[in-house]
Structure 1
Amino acid sequence: MAPRYKDGDAVVAVNGKWIAWTHTVVAYTAFFSALVVGMSLHFRKIVQNEHYGYPDEWFPSVSATIGDRYPERSFFQVFIAITSGPRFALVFLWYLLTSRPNSALPKLVAGVGLFRTFTCGGWTYVTSTDDHDWHDIFMISYLVATLPWTLGCLALSPNNRRAVKYRKVLASLFFGTLVPLIYYFIQHKVHKVPGAYTKYAFFEWSLILFDVGFDAVTALDFDAFEIVVRDVKGVSRGQLKTTADSVLEIEKGKPVGNTFGEGFFWTEIIDAAADVYNGFVFWTMMTALPVLVWYFPLWHMGISGYEAAIVCYLSPLLLGIPALKSAAIKTPRLFHLLSLSGLLAYKVQDPANRLFVTSFGVICSCLTWAATLYAERANTTRLESRILSWSIGLIMSTVAKYACTTNNPLWPIMHSENGGWNKIGILFAVLAVLRSYRRPTTSGGDHLPSSGKKGSWLLAGLGLGGLWFAMHYLLSDSSTMISWVWDGYPVRGPIAVPHGSLIIFAMGAGLVSGLFYPSVAGSWTAFGIGSLGATFLTCYEHWTGFYGALVLAFYLLAVTPVLVSSAVRHSPAATFGIASLLYIFLILFHVWVVAYAFVPGGYLVREHTDWVMITIMLSIGAGVFSAGVSNVSNPKSKAIISPNSRRQRSYFVYVLVILQLLSVAISYLRFPTNDYTPYHKEDKVATMGIWTVHFGLDNDMWASERRMRDVIQELELDVIGLLESDNQRIIMGNRDITQFVAEDLGMYADFGPGPDKHTWGSALLSKFPIVNSTHHLLPSPVGELAPAIHATLDMYGELVDVVVFHSGQEEDPEDRRLQTEYLSNLMGSTLRPTVLLSYLVTKPLEGNYNTYVSDISGMKDIDPTDWDRWCEYILFKKLKRTGYARVSRDSITDTEIQVGKFVIGEPEPENEMRIPEEMVPPGLQFPSLFRGQGVRGHRYHVFDEPRYWQ
């Protein structure tokens, strides 16, 4: 008999747990039926990957199993389609189970559940063969949404101990499995370890088990439902206490427990997002100004006078003028809108005028933020929001650069043709300012009673200045500290992608810990740990140095709320003025250590990055001491956290989580494929070039990576050495020009020695695998340091050495003599075929040239008759050269591109002869695109055409 319900009969009643069980069984059937069928019919094909097959690899990945082969693909798609019905029902029942009055979190979690269901259909029915980009977009979206779904389900779980236990276990297993999964994926992709992909596959299948199993736990909760639909326990009417409610009661009064139990309002999260975007704009302009300043000494080859623009950072000193201070506090919207002029600077074509416009924007921005933070000192909630928006704005800037291969898309060196998002960025900036400053700013008051101690304004200012510089110096790009610890191939430490996301995660985790536990973040213990991280970063390479980088990133963001809160207790002209003075001093300091040969007094700090790091940490220590004085003198000064403050915190944490998820998605999209192919593989040709790229800024002060990419691609260069390429300093924007070029062209990249080794940089890009590379600092007792990369490449199965080298300057002949001897001995010590791609600063057939080209090195000049060279040279030994050309640079840099062609695997002929181009096989010819007037200003010059040998 059908059960009765109130005044009518129910047709049927089905217990809700069968929805969960149906979903579980059908989902598992979809995956494992495809696995059984695939292993039975296409075993060797589905275990084959780009590097190895059976027997090295003997178990297929999920994507290989459910991919393009019939019939396993059909099995999977049929059953996953059946799964969609129970899946939608599961999400709907979960919402009914967890919905409570005045709570938006159940709606948010239900929305995420629906989103995951649709994206699952996306990557299921759009395979990588159909459309690789959309398949990846759907897959990444699904994985990213898994985190809020999992956390949301845990937070909303009914008070069912058994179900909560299983959810915690399965969630921990799921996220814990990601660590070995990523490890073995890197072993497979980067290191090409046999069998690594099989191990990766087991962890990938484990994710499927844990993901579906996590949702299967709902069966333990859904047995409270009967689908009539009838609620037999009243759990859908807010009468059942959830786990989150229980936790909040237990954790009442504790920071984390108080944060996420408040209501959810979309208007307030929009406010938080607008505040963070304002912080992002601040850091965009802070990091842009030094890049523009750097352009002028770069092209003047010395101090130009435009360097004085960095005094713009001193604008907080203007708050010592009472009228200006009052105006900045009372009308922050006006000053913030004025600061946006810096974003409009990209419309100015003249480099000097663009610098002036940007400088005005920086003046307004620094002044406004100092006044805004000071003005909110009486309102703990509002002050906290400003500190969070400033700090998360830095993280947003770092994520934006991570997405755009180390260029901030709103910088004045960017525009639509080279990857800029200037117009949309300015639109959002205006909207963010209007949104954030629609309410009046508070003023007056203080955190402390009049009898309390505030600490020292001088020490507070020093702490803020050291923090400000460290954030800019080390954290404004996720690859900066990674470049410090990189030391060549084979890979023995982190790489920019994907490990840049770990830097971003450490920053976010540090900020959250400093927000909830300021007493811990502001302690001397935390300072000691942060100093230890700085020491490891400065003194060690590979993973050891990187662990120090993570600790330091965590500490700098953790101590930020403590130091800023301490600084605003004093006059803004005093604390922010001192901070900006120290900031400028440290900018000059960190430039002097590498530019010692070009600046007054540079030799006093030559190669002393360690001194810079010591100064940073001592300054932060001074700020910690000042903050500690006020805390000790006023132990009861901690304000009670209001419900509004708790809710506001949660919104900023949501924004932070979104940025963290974006960084993970970016890592996936940018992960190196390491399956690169030379341009003329069938002819076993290696086309190699050398180019001095002048730090990736062209003659008109635009970022030049895309223009570099185009000409390198059109010249069909398999290997290229890039000189003057180290941009991982504040004055160069903390950029890495090799990332975009290498990723877009499909090349391996090596750069070094790193920025902490005080050179102007050398880099090697190669279509061929880099088996090993060593970084060298050549003898330089007087002048600038000379960097070199000595790499061994696997060219069509033969090992070939390539050396990329930048000699010292003309003014230091003894340096160049010593460097010549060192490099000649280095090249002479290898018995393998060798190519030198170099900047030698010598005339052909004269002086040091005769040491480079000698019996000591065993090297030959690619074309001894080329009399018009001074800097760039290509030398070789034990290879068959077939061609040589010189290509004009247009306005990208101040140096041409020199290119040589070599046939690999053939012996060096004893008697060579010049031959006309018509006798050269097509695969060995240079592109005709650059003949005559060429393309975009690039053409063959000096000889007017390439030279060929047989």
Structure 2
Amino acid sequence: MAPKFKDGDVVATFSGKWISWAHTICCYAAFLGALIVGMSLHYHKIVQNEHYGYPDEWFPSVSATIGDRYPERSVFMVFIAITSGPRFALVGLWYILTRKQNSTLPNFVAAVGIFRTLTCGGWTYVTSTDDHDWHDIFMISYLVATLPWTLGCLALSPRHPKTLKYRKIFAGSFFGTLVPLIYFFIQHKVHRVAGAYTTYAFFEWTLVLLDVAFDAVTVFDFEGLEIVVKDVRGVSRGNIKAVTDAVLEKQKDKEIGQVFAGGFSWADSLDAVADVYNGFVFWSMLTSLGLLVWYFPLWHMGISGYEVMVMCTVSPILLVIKPLRFIIIRRVRICHLLALTGLLSFLTKSPENRLFTAGFGVCMSCLSWAATFYAERSQPHRLEARISAFSLGLLASSIAKFAFWTNNPIWPIMHAPNGGWNKLGLALAILAVLRSTRRTASSGTDMPAPGSTKGSPALAGLGLAGLFFAMHSLLSDSSTMILWVWEGYPVRGPLAVPHGAVTLLAMGLGLIIGLFYPNFARSWTFYGVGSIGAAILTGYSHWFGYYGALTMTIYVMALSPILISSAARHSPATTFGLGFLIYNILVLAHVWIVAYAFVPGGPLMREHTDWVMTATMLFIGCGVFAASSHTVYPSNPKYKAKLGSVNPAASKQRSYYLYILLGLELLATAIAYLRFPSFDYTPYHAPEKLVTAGIWTIHFSLDNDMWSSERRMRDVIKELELDVVGLLESDLQRIIMGNRDTTQFLAEDLGMYVDYGPGPNKHTWGAALLSKFPIVNSTHHLLPSPVGELAPAIHATLEMYGRFVDVFVFHSGQEEDPEDRRLQSEYLAKLMHDTPRPSILLSYLVTKPQEGNYNTYVGEKSGMKDIDPSDWDRWCEYILYKGMKRTGYARVSRSTITDTEIQVGKFVVDAPEGSDEIIPEEQVPEGQRFPALFRGEGVRGHQYHVFNEPRYYA
């Protein structure tokens, strides 16, 4: 009989380990039971995927097993429902076991555990067939919460060698399995490799087993807990002593342990969030400035005079005036608030006024941040916090662009009609400034930094120039360096989605290295590693080139705490003023390497990305030299506390920025999952074997009124029912174009494959291809251009209705360089002539019909025919073809999106070429006709023009 106590009768007792056993057995029964039933009853159906079935694929994925088929779905749901009870009990016991005074980490972990349990129910009972979006939302939420749950349990794991050992094994195996899982998923989804999905399925099942096994380790922890059921009417108010945190106990004398020790403060965490948001606003405004300046030479086709606005970043030079420096430091809040006028610029309709307003905001923002760094130099841990916020602001800006298809939602080129979040961004910025500028370490007086002040301020300024330029040109968008190493299909390197998240993870890793290992970050050994990474990125493509990009990413982010803290020791007018001045020169050089035809002395910089990268690394080396000359080593007890290495308050402060970093990286991972393309696209008129192809020069996705034009472009492309479209002037991966990629949004929203074309390190204005049909192979060409700008071309082979068809997208050189254009016409003509497959050319030729180079592009030399030889009113855009039946041709006005019309052709695969006889629309099958939407006045400024209606051919 159970013992009795005065506060009630004990009616039952059992060990807490049975909670763990019940959870593990029920959970495994749910998954394995569904697997056994599914393979017994529906084996061939559940191993079938969108590309292959048995015998190429012979093992089912988790989702296929527990999905919609009866009875395996019911088996899974019954057991997973039973699992929920032990699951909630497990989370509760873990909280009781690990809670302790002055620590909110157990509370946080318990909340995450409950959240994971609820989201598990979400994706279990809402299948992808029921509601695909909500199923994905629940699934992504569950996976994202797995990381803090795993790390939190490791941090709170009691002093038990066995449990800690098993948790590390299972957690390490879980996250290690993600790498091959993603690899084989891409092999299946992108490359369509037979059998890849089966291998992916094994890794997916491994993840399930490891996830459950990680929680099963609690069976050892709960052995010491006894659950007692008493017959009482009151509620026990006993308090259990907290179990000592084994991990932090072991690390208590080390910096990494001090960071996460102690309690959690909402006030301090809000301060950190406000700081990071201020950094986000700075990078948002800085990255928009070049884009606004670019609008003017773009429309003037030459130097406009507005280019001088790039120099507004040198405003920190004003801090050379001591009384002004005193006032700015004491009133830095006002300066930060004035900087927010840059976010207000979207309200200005005039492009000129929008540029001036944004430029003033950038001017004040650069001044404010330089003053802030200088003011905090006397308190290294506070300076580190500001630098962390500055660097995390760049990461946040890149993640925002990752989420919004490479546009920043608070840029001045954004507003509500094209997806801008300007008003919300401004409101949050005001609150962030008011919160983060409540106090600084300096009241305006020159309080010196601890330690030696040796080192050259000029070298420190050069270091800042290289650092800021590398951060802006390479890291302000997660897809920039991926497109540097892109060489077309088949895919042999990273993709903007999902691998952009890998770049963002590398940024976070680099910042952690800079914060926790500063001596290594400033070492010449690490500088050599970073330089090798820069060389590999510049000289190589595919995965190897991307490995260089990741190395460069880690190095640049690790340097930010080192070089900025070094510069803050000296006069900000010298370091930050000179830094931004040289940064501007690098920005101009970064433009001249491709815009050499439009600037004085431009040919000297022609196609020299290597020179710009070399200069960047040399300037960074100057900064490393300056930082090395006044290092304050942690062994010096005089400055040890000030540096925060043993200061609990400083370490606690650092932890909030690391929490923010963790949150940002989780967000990046979730975005990558949500944006992963389906690669399951269907042409508009498949029964007729119809191909609708178009060519459009998109003027770098800035419309006539300086708004980003992707959404307007999307609408007209969709309404014209284009299956294949060539885009010219499409390379936006430069500072002056905002480091954007219009093709990402268009491809994902329209459901199309995309080839970006020659990357930003190929020194062209860009050519891109979007296709509803799979791109089997593509080759990028840089056509002969001895004098003028480089002419890019894409030669792609598409699988159209079971037949291979070649599509060429080409942008010829300018009118001023006739010899270039002649050589280019001969090169492309040979390229088209040599292919035996049916072909379509979507091009910008710069020639009159029936004259000059036209006769090289059209005729025996190329084997190509003009879509309409009678159309005499052309100069730039042309559509040519061979080996296909041309059925229609139309010219559609551009509205205010760009300066060039859209030309569209319709073709039928596996049909003879036909004749040039024009026939009435009534003789054309309905499925082969152009949309009536664009007749007459059309829609939104788009209508059939020149002929005022489409043309059809026999």
Range into which the TM-score falls when normalised by the shorter chain: over 0.9
Query: Contact 2:868/2:916 (CA < 8 Å) preserved in 1?
Result: no
CA drift at 1:915: 1.2
What are the residue-to-residue correspondences of 1:330-729 with 2, within 5 Å?
330-443=330-443, 444-449=446-451, 452-631=452-631, 636=636, 638-640=639-641, 641=644, 642-729=647-734
Corresponding residue of 1:240: 243
Asked if residue 891 in structure 1 is aligned to residue 896 in structure 2, the reply is yes
Give deviations 1:413-458, integer Å, cap 9, x for gaps: 0011111111111111111111111224425332335xx3420000
Q: 2:844 aligns with which of 839, 846, 871?
A: 839
TM-score (norm 1): 0.98
**In the aligned structure 2, how far is the partner of 1:52 from the partner of 1:315?**
61
Q: Is 2:154 aligned against 1:154?
A: yes
Asked if residue 926 in structure 1 is aligned to residue 930 in structure 2, the reply is yes
Q: Deviations over 1:369-399 (max 9, x none)?
A: 0000000000112101100000000000000
1:619/1:787 CA distance change after superposition, 3 Å: same
Separation (CA, whole Å) in 2 of partners of 1:703 and 1:304: 21
Judge conservation of contact 2:884–2:912 (CA < 8 Å) in 1: yes
Tell me if 1:855 matches 2:860: yes
Question: Residues 596 and 603 of structure 1 are in contact (CA less than 8 Å); yes or no, is this contact kept in structure 2?
Answer: yes
What is the distance in 1 between the residues matched to 2:158 and 2:634? Answer: 42
- The 1:5/1:730 distance shift into structure 2, 3 A limit, reads farther
Asked if 1 retains the 8 angstrom alpha-carbon contact of 2:12 and 2:229, the reply is no
For 2:223 and 2:373, how far apart are their aligned partners in 1? 53
How far does residue 537 in structure 1 lie from its aligned partner after superposition?
0.2
Secondary structure class of the residue paired with 2:870: coil
- Specify which of 944, 948, 951 is matched with residue 944 of structure 1: 948
Which one-letter code corresponds to 2:240 in the other structure?
R
Local SS of the residue matching 1:799: strand
- Cα distance, 1:752–1:345 mapped onto 2, change above 3 Å: same
- Return the alpha-carbon distance in structure 2 between the equivalents of residues 293 and 242 of structure 1: 55
Report the 3-state secondary structure (helix = DSSP H, G, I; strand = E; otherwise coil) of the residue aligned with 1:682. Answer: coil
User: Structure 2 counterpart of 1:933, which letter?
Assistant: E
8 Å CA contact 2:77, 2:124 repeated in 1: yes
Partner of 1:186: 186
d(CA) in 1 for partners of 2:727 and 2:514? 42
Q: Pick one of 804, 827, 835 that aligns with 1:799.
A: 804
In structure 1, C-alpha distance between the alignment counterparts of 2:776 and 2:407, rounded to whole Å: 29
Aligned to 1:763: 768
Q: Could you tell me how far 1:82 is from its partner in structure 2? A: 1.1
Q: For the Cα contact (< 8 Å) 1:101–1:238, is it kept in 2?
A: no
Q: Aligned AA for 2:925?
A: P
**Residue identity matched to 1:265:** S
Corresponding letter in the other structure for 2:449: H
Aligned equivalents of 1:262, 1:497: Cα separation in 2 = 39
Pair 1:913-2:914 in alignment: no
Letter in 2 for 1:737: T
Are the counterparts in 2 of residues 694 and 894 from structure 1 also a CA contact under 8 Å? yes
Q: Is the 8 A contact 2:798 2:804 kept in 1?
A: yes
Say which SS state the counterpart of residue 405 (structure 1) adopts. coil
Distance 2:594 2:771 in 1: 28
- Counterpart AA for 2:269: I
Give, in angstroms, the shift of residue 236 of structure 1: 7.1
TM-score normalized with structure 2 length: 0.97
Aligned-residue offset at 1:635: 7.1
Aligned match of 1:211: 211
Amino acid at match of 2:145: A
CA distance in 1, matches of 2:629, 2:11: 73
Q: Is the 8 A contact 1:97 1:236 kept in 2?
A: no
Contact kept in structure 1, 2:475 and 2:553, CA below 8 Å: yes
- Distance in 2 between residues matched to 1:305 and 1:4, nearest whole Å: 92
Give unmatched runs, 5+ long, in structure 1. Answer: none
> Counterparts in 2 of 1:766-845, with a 5 A limit?
766-845=771-850
Q: Distance in 1 between matches of 2:175 and 2:149?
A: 13
Identity %: 68
Q: Paired residue for 1:113? A: 113
**Aligned residues of 2:98 and 2:242 also touching (Cα < 8 A):** no
Residue type of the partner of 1:930?
F
Between 1:125-134 and 1:470-479, the stretch displaced more is 125-134
Moved more, 695-704 or 322-331: 322-331
Greater Cα offset, 433-442 or 809-818: 433-442
- Identify which range, 7-16 or 734-743, moves more after superposition: 7-16
AA aligned opposite 1:651: Y
The Cα of 1:257 is off from its aligned counterpart by 2.1
What is the alpha-carbon distance in structure 2 between the residues aligned to residue 786 and residue 586 of structure 1? Answer: 24
Distance 1:46 1:931 in 2: 49
Unaligned runs of 5+ in 2: 231-236
- Of 894, 905, 909, 1:904 maps to 909
- How many angstroms does 1:639 deviate by? 2.7
Between stretches 626-635 and 813-822, larger displacement belongs to: 626-635
Partner-residue secondary structure (3-state), 1:760: coil
Sort the Cα spacing of 1:5 and 1:221 in 2 relative to 1 into closer, same or farther, 3 A. Answer: farther
Distance across 1 between alignment mates of 2:343 and 2:828: 46
Q: Deviations over 1:482-505 (max 9, x none)?
A: 010000000000010011011101
Distance 1:595 1:79, change over 3 A: same
Q: Which runs of 4+ in 1 moved over 4 A?
A: 5-8, 632-635
Letter in 2 for 1:447: A
Provide, for residues 291-334 of structure 1, a one-character-per-residue CA deviation record: whole Å limited to 9, x for no partner: 00000000000010111111111111111122321121011111
Corresponding residue number in structure 2 for 1:30: 30
Q: Distance in 1 between matches of 2:492 and 2:505?
A: 21
Cα separation, 1, equivalents of 2:264 and 2:781? 56
Shift of 1:631: 1.6
Instruction: Quote the RMSD (CA, aligned, Å).
Output: 1.4
Contact 1:97 1:235 (C-alpha < 8 Å) held by counterparts: no
